[in-house]
Structure 1
Amino acid sequence: MTAVAALEPRVLVPLAIRGEPPAWGQVTHELQGQSMGTTWSVRCVGPRELRLEAIARAIDTALAGVVAQMSHWEPGSALSRFNAAPAGHEQLLPPAFATVMDAALRVAAASDGAYDPGAGELVALWGFGPAGLRPRHDEPGFTLPGDAAIEAARRSSRALRWDAATRRLTQPGGVRLDLSAIAKGYAVDRVSDVLADCGLPDHLVEIGGELRGAGLKPDGQPWWVELEPPAPDCGLAPTRVALHGLAIATSGDYRRCFIDADGRRRPHTLDPRTGRPIEHGIASVSVVHDSAMWADAWSTALTVLGPQAGLALAVEQGLAAQIVWRDDDGSFREAWTPALQELSL
């Protein structure tokens, strides 16, 4: 048997280094918990006697606020109330919800609907939504939706009336919001802000695989992480990123999928324009951005668009993105945008 040589990792670094290393004697603390249907973890640099219980409470409070405003799993959330509202209902959104909604609609417009925050009815139809709304794909009673049901569920967020100046969103009737592809990224940014407000500017935040790093570790090194590969044997060289004022979000068809009754692999990522799961062979999209919220939304939009159209839009938008797809022979191929190449050592 011939040994396969390990591929040399690629290294990405920010274009600017800001701030000073932590004060002498500070250490790295670790915290973790659960929220938004997933887990969160934080590494932060501070004095040895740092009151971790108080920091954890501040993080939990921030995440609970995101859930209370934007969760489609919580019947009492502001988002769920909007989804249940009749046509013509005008709702004043809380500031955080408004920030996320505005960003979501901007990405929806730029991607020509490949990302759509109003696709919640489609998400539920395919069995990916909250329990009780429709049978989930892993529950008894789930059947693949037909053409008529898909067409009826395609109520685009383009029908929404959004006034960013007054933070008012109007329900046109039947539009069900789903911000799961952007709210988690916002939550990462929010926790990062909370840590900074607590006097902890050097930290790494992770929620459900989305990351944001700020400052430096006690040894003066940045927070090093690797871009998530679509498979351990994908044959692509690993990519290490110095998360210093940067965030990463990764989407792809390898993360969540199910096998239907016909034996077809159905990714959880839906194309709102067709009303069906994506089928173009894209494996993963990683976006490096200074905001986890924007990285989260853009990685979803580019995944839906596919290798060619996704790459073209990423270049047009100046996004630092890695796009990986499966070739016809099953091998993996990748493309980097110029903005990502600019970060490469």
Structure 2
Amino acid sequence: MSKMCTEPMRHALNGPTMGTRWSALLFAQAGFDPAPVRAALQAAVDEVDAQMSTWKPDSNLMRLNAAPLGAWVAVPDGLGRVLRLGLEIGRASDGAFDIGMGDVGTAWGFGPLAATPARIRTAMRTDRVPTHQALEIDAGSGLVRKTSPVALDLNGIAKGYGVDRLAETLAAYGIDDALVGIDGEMRALGLRPDGQAWTIAVEAPNADRRAPHSILALQDAAVATSGDYRHWVEVQGRRLSHTMDPDRGAPVLASPASVTVVALTCAEADAWATACMVKGSLEGVQLARRSNLSALFIDREGDLLRETRVGRLFEPRPGPERVVDAGISTK
């Protein structure tokens, strides 16, 4: 009689979302049917997109954007959670993370319209009220209102929240060990079947090719990276990052090449990585330390990359910083 196989089977599930793809890697015993889990995961990210997309005029976010000043608007629980977290990190980062940069991103060409001098001049106004002062949330009732003009855009946090929803969906199915992600934003649940942590590559900040810069081993944690090398536009011959500086109403000019943040949730990691990019290398490192973040800053120095590591996860190695060859994978 042949011996029954008790080795868990690998299941790699994926699907479309937010202009990219979601993924879930898990292991299960024979007889596990992945179809209902895949359907539930797709439904979870579809709900996030339906609530928070700036490309869908009927999304809950765009209906809030279209509402008149002072009018209370009912928002679903998911959108309410993300708005509250966005305002909280906005306050904690002194406005570096701002979920009200929708008009600025659009003016600079990160949207359906091309950048024009007139749109850019309008975006670079100096009377902008930080969104954590321009948005009021009544958490008990699920109502939100704008007290100052603001164009909400959750691109710096929605994908991270989508990853968290993937993790919550798997947990609802009793799946405690898995790796989920959307477009490089990742969250590790539990451990691999061999008892080891999940390994995740931190991408080298290289616009010409995709290659790992370093490797993280994560258990019950999330990671997100913000960088200047994937999404950009060219304005008058100059390449500009998609990360917006709220103080200037324009793309950041002196940011690191990338910032990677590890946190308990992917929404937090996503938002804090953006905040640190906006602050720049020096102030961003100071912000990360004040906020007790685990963060990896990568700066370009000619053909070299300089690392600055902050927090428990990144600092055990000796020395505050390290210089490596650009694009070379390191561990």
TM score, norm. by length of structure 1: 0.84
Over aligned residues, Cα RMSD in angstroms?
2.5
Q: Is the 8 A contact 2:256 2:300 kept in 1?
A: yes
Amino acid at match of 1:175: V
The answer to whether 1:322 aligns with 2:296 is yes
Query: How do 1:1-345 and structure 2 match up within 5 A?
Result: 24-129=6-111, 131=112, 135-137=113-115, 142-143=116-117, 145-151=119-125, 154=128, 156-157=130-131, 158-231=133-206, 238-260=213-235, 262-327=236-301, 329=302, 331-341=304-314
Distance in 1, Cα, partners of 2:107 & 2:213: 37
* Higher-strand-fraction structure: 2
Change (3 A) 1:278 1:144: farther
Q: Report the residue type matching 1:288 in the other structure.
A: V
The 1:343–1:98 alpha-carbon spacing in structure 2 relative to 1, beyond 3 Å, is farther
Q: 1:143 to 1:48 in 2, by over 3 A?
A: farther
Contact 2:6 2:30 in 1 (8 A): no
Identity %: 38
What do the CA deviations read for 1:138-167 (whole angstroms, capped 9, x no partner)? xxxx55744344218945312222233433
- CA distance in 1: counterparts of 2:271 and 2:231, whole angstroms: 17
Once the two structures are superposed, residues 117-152 of structure 1 have per-residue CA deviations (whole angstroms, 9 ceiling, x without a partner) of 1111111111213x3xxx135xxxx55744344218
Number of residue pairs matched by the alignment:
312
CA contact (8 A) 1:289 1:319 kept: yes
The residue that corresponds to 1:7 in the other structure is none
Residue 224 (structure 1) shift: 0.8
Of residues 67-76 and 315-324 in structure 1, the stretch that sits farther from structure 2 once superposed is: 67-76
Deviation string, structure 1 residues 76-119 (Cα, Å, up to 9, x no partner): 11111000011111112222111111110011111111111111
1-structure distance, mates of 2:16, 2:109: 23
Q: Which runs of 5+ in 2 are unaligned?
A: 318-330
Name which of structure 1's ranges 167-176 and 195-204 shifts more when overlaid on structure 2: 167-176
Relative to structure 1, the CA distance from residue 220 to residue 109 in structure 2 (aligned partners, 3 Å threshold; closer, same or farther) is same
Cα contact 2:104–2:123 (8 A) shared by 1: no
Taking a change above 3 Å as real, the CA distance of residues 152 and 37 of structure 1, as seen in their structure-2 partners, is: farther
Q: Could you tell me how far 1:281 is from its partner in structure 2?
A: 4.3
The higher-RCO structure (CA 8 Å, 6+ apart) is 1
Classify 1:203/1:153 alpha carbon distance in 2 versus 1 (closer, same or farther; 3 Å): farther
Secondary structure at the counterpart of residue 59 of structure 1: helix
- The alignment partner of 1:282 has SS state of coil
* TM-score, with length taken from structure 2: 0.87
| AA of the residue aligned to 1:163 | D
